[in-house]
Structure formats: structure tokens, C-alpha cells
Amino acid sequence: MSKLYTARDIEALIAKGADLTDAANGRLTPMARDLLRQQKIKPGKPAAAANPSGTPRIHEPALPDYEYHWIPGGDPKTAAEIEKFFYSPEIQVIKERICHIGRRIWDKGYVDGNGGNITVRVGDNLVLCTPTLISKGFMTPDDLCLVDLDGNQVAGTRPRTSEVNTHLGIMKNEPKAKSCVHAHPVYATAFAVAGVTPPACLIPEPEVFLGEIGLASYQTPGTPENAREVGALAKKHQSILMQNHGVICWGKDVEDAYWKMENTDAFCQTVTVTMQLGGPKQYGTDKLRELIQLRQKLGMPDHRLDELKECELCDAGDTTVNTAPQPSASSCSCQIGPEPSGGEPDEALVQQITDLIMKQLK
Ligand SMILES: [Zn+2]
């Protein structure tokens, strides 16, 4: 029997720049098939002819695109059409990715018991979601559900999670949000329980790939109030701490949304450890401006340059919804002058941040 190619096999071949002809003609898992299509190679058809010179073929480097694109106005309508769509190969691939991310959030200890939930938007009015009362580490594609944007379940044998409403609140407010991941990772959830967000101007990567973390005031999970509260923040924030609850992140696909979750928890963990080492030292707002511009160039939204004054950039915390005092309120106010010429951050400023976060974490 011919070799069965998995997505991992295909990724390895692509990474090596190897010819994909054999794989395209071999037996393929659904995700492997999808990866080949993203390389513009039709499974079952030979790849482009080998280079007659015999030298290795050069592939144009390209990022894989896992974002789900549907035809606007083309959602299946009848029950039979929805059922067929729900069990189609293209949706099977997305279901497998959701289960894969479920396994990863469980492996990382971001969820316990039946906690957390995941969604992927697959139409104008259709969203795949995880079911209620299930461990995210042990789901199979058959466990998943399909809902409309009002939360009505339209396919799937298990009942959908009640927290899907929060995900839908995000998707209704921000069309770029094609997937949401909600979990309770310990460090980020601790910040949510304390009612604080990490200050800006500390680490470059979160500024570029995560943006400013939002903070939603406490509402009962799964309620319309929580969906409204969190949804209203989605345009400005891809990662939102839900006070006294956990974290929800959105992205263009499920892996992207999951990355934001990892970024958020790692950032909160680093800030927590930094507190034990004497507190953070911030870089200047000019450097933050460069990072935000880089983020915008990568196509990720960021409201800070449009809405904040230069001297407010390092304040970067959401003071409009936070019921607890923010570290940002004193971290880099407009009254405080620029960084000293020696490049050393203001010690009093560092102490202010440290004291405020420590006070709130205690
Ligand atoms: Zn939750």
C-alpha cells in the first residue's frame, strides 16, 4: 500500500523545498490535502514538471494561509444543505484544527476540567464551536457543533458551549475575528482576577504580535452582558482579560487566536517574575511607536497611534472599562518627562509600577 502522507510530512517536505509530486499522488490525510492545495498543488495531480537541468526545484517562499474564506451570501440555507456542509471535507479540516488546538491548550495547562472553548467562523452566519462539558484535550471532530451568529445550534450532536455568545460578540463587532480561543491560563487569569493589565514598553514581541491587552469588567460568563462587554473591546484588542474569569483572544484562524493566548500568558508570567526581580524597566515611547507601526504593517489593528498622545503610549492600559486602578495610570503619564538621556528609566516610575502591580497582585 502507498505511503500515507500527514500534514506533518507535507510541512517537512515544504520546509526542505522537496518535490511534492509523490505526495500529491499518494494517500493523504485531510489536513495534508489542504496543505497541498495551499501550495497550489492539486492532490491527485502531478506537481509541476521537474527541472530538466536536474538541479533542485526552487519554491517561492510563501506563508501558509489557514484563514477560512467563504463566499459572501453563499451560506448553506436548508437543513440538508447545512448538514452536508457541516460534514464536508473542507469543514472536517477546520474541525481537526480545532481539536488540535484544544489538545494544545490542555497540554499547556491553560484549561482544566471542561474549561475553555474555541470557535471558527465559516460563513456570514455560521460558526463552528466546541461543545459544552467536554475536556478540550480529548475532543474529536464529531464532538463539534455549528451555530449561527445568534448562538442557535444548527448542526452537531452535542450541545454547544454557553460561552459561545462571548465569541459571537467579538465576531459581530470585528469582522477580522475569524476565530476565538478562550481559556484560563494561570498567569494571565491572575492578572484578570487582580484587575490589571501588563504595562506597555516592556517587551517588543507582545507589542507587535499581541498589541495592547484589553480588560473587560466582570459579567457572568455566557450572558449577553458579557458578550456586549467583551465584544465592544474586540476592535481595539486581540487579547482581552475578562475580569475574575479568564482570557479570550481572536485571530484570523484558530492557530493565530491560540498564539495570542500563548503570547498573553507568557507576557503576564514574565511581568510577574520581573516583579520579583525588582520591577520592570521600560523602553521609551519612540521605540514603542516603531513597534506599533511594525504591527500595523503586518495588517494587525492597533488604535494607539491614532488615539493616544505620544506621552500616553507607555500608559497603554484600558482605563475605560477597568474597575481597578491600572498600573498604567502612573507608569508613564504626560507629566513625566522623556527618558533620561543616559537611557536609564526613571527609578521612581519603575517603583510606582512595581508597587501598584505588587499591591494588586497581593
Ligand atoms: Zn471561561
DSSP-derived secondary structure for 72-99: TT----SHHHHHHHHTSHHHHHHHHHHH
**Backbone CA torsion sign across 8, 9, 10, 12:** positive
C-alpha pair distances (Å), 39 with each of 208, 260, 345: 27, 26, 48
Predicted local distance difference test score (pLDDT) of residue 96: 98
Interatomic CA distance for residues 286 and 290, integer angstroms: 7
Catalytic option among 11, 81, 96, 163: 163
Interatomic CA distance for residues 133 and 114, integer angstroms: 5
Predicted local distance difference test score (pLDDT) of residue 353: 54
Predicted local distance difference test score (pLDDT) of residue 329: 35
Interatomic CA distance for residues 131 and 162, integer angstroms: 9
Residue 357 CA to ligand 1 center (angstroms) comes to 24
Interatomic CA distance for residues 101 and 111, integer angstroms: 12
Closest CA relative to residue 16, chosen from 65, 57, 49, 66: 57
228 burial (CB, 10 Å; 0-12 / 13-18 / 19+) is middle
Interatomic CA distance for residues 207 and 295, integer angstroms: 8
251, containing H or E segment: strand 246-251
339 is catalytic: no
Residue 111 CA to ligand 1 center (angstroms) comes to 9
Interatomic CA distance for residues 194 and 218, integer angstroms: 11
Residue 131 CA to ligand 1 center (angstroms) comes to 13
Where the chain has pLDDT below 70, the residues are: 1-2, 44-58, 310-313, 315-362
Predicted local distance difference test score (pLDDT) of residue 300: 82
Amino acid present at 72: P
Interatomic CA distance for residues 252 and 271, integer angstroms: 27
> 211, 264 in Cβ contact below 8 A?
no
Residue 130 CA to ligand 1 center (angstroms) comes to 13
pLDDT tens for residues 285-306? Answer: 889 999 999 998 888 878 888 7
Closest CA relative to residue 211, chosen from 172, 260, 174, 169: 260
Residue 140 CA to ligand 1 center (angstroms) comes to 20
Predicted local distance difference test score (pLDDT) of residue 78: 97
Chain CA centroid to CA 219, Å:
22
Interatomic CA distance for residues 145 and 190, integer angstroms: 30
Predicted local distance difference test score (pLDDT) of residue 51: 53
Contacts 24+ apart (CB under 8 A), 84-89: 85/126, 86/146, 86/155, 86/156, 89/30, 89/33
Predicted local distance difference test score (pLDDT) of residue 328: 41
The DSSP result for 166-195, as a single string, is HHHHHHHH-TT--EEEEE--HHHHHHHHHT
Predicted local distance difference test score (pLDDT) of residue 344: 41
pTM of the model: 0.74
